[in-house]
């Protein structure tokens, strides 16, 4: 295998693993979240602001954390 091919393989493998570890971003109402498969972390908020209620569950999984800066810019 040529050096360039090896580097491309390693880079694409790392990108795949990073996406797998980070989870899949999804939307639930006004919230963006990532799921580990057994729990949910809120990663963003797209709603109008004001009084916000954090749901106990999203898509059947418990909300266990709120990510850093998930509500940044929200009023």
* pLDDT, tens digit, 9 for 90 and up, residues 19-32: 444 567 899 999 99
Give the integer Cα–Cα distance in Å for 66 and 55: 11
pLDDT of 24: 73
Instruction: Decide which of 14 and 34 is more confident.
Output: 34
* pLDDT, tens digit, 9 for 90 and up, residues 52-63: 999 999 999 999
Q: What's the chain's average pLDDT?
A: 80
Give the integer Cα–Cα distance in Å for 72 and 75: 9
Q: Rounded to 10 degrees, what is the CA torsion of 63, 21, 37, 31? A: 40
Supply the Cα-derived Rg of the chain in whole angstroms. Answer: 17
- The answer to whether residue 9 scores a pLDDT higher than 70 is no
pTM: 0.67
């Amino acid at each position: 295998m040529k050096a360039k091919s090896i580097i491309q393989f390693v880079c694409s493998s790392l990108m795949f693993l990073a996406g797998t570890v980070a989870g899949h971003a999804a939307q639930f109402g006004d919230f963006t979240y990532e799921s580990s498969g057994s729990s949910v972390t809120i990663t963003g908020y797209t709603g109008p602001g004001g009084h916000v209620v954090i749901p106990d569950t999203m898509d059947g999984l418990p909300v266990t954390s709120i990510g850093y800066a998930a509500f940044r810019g929200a009023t």
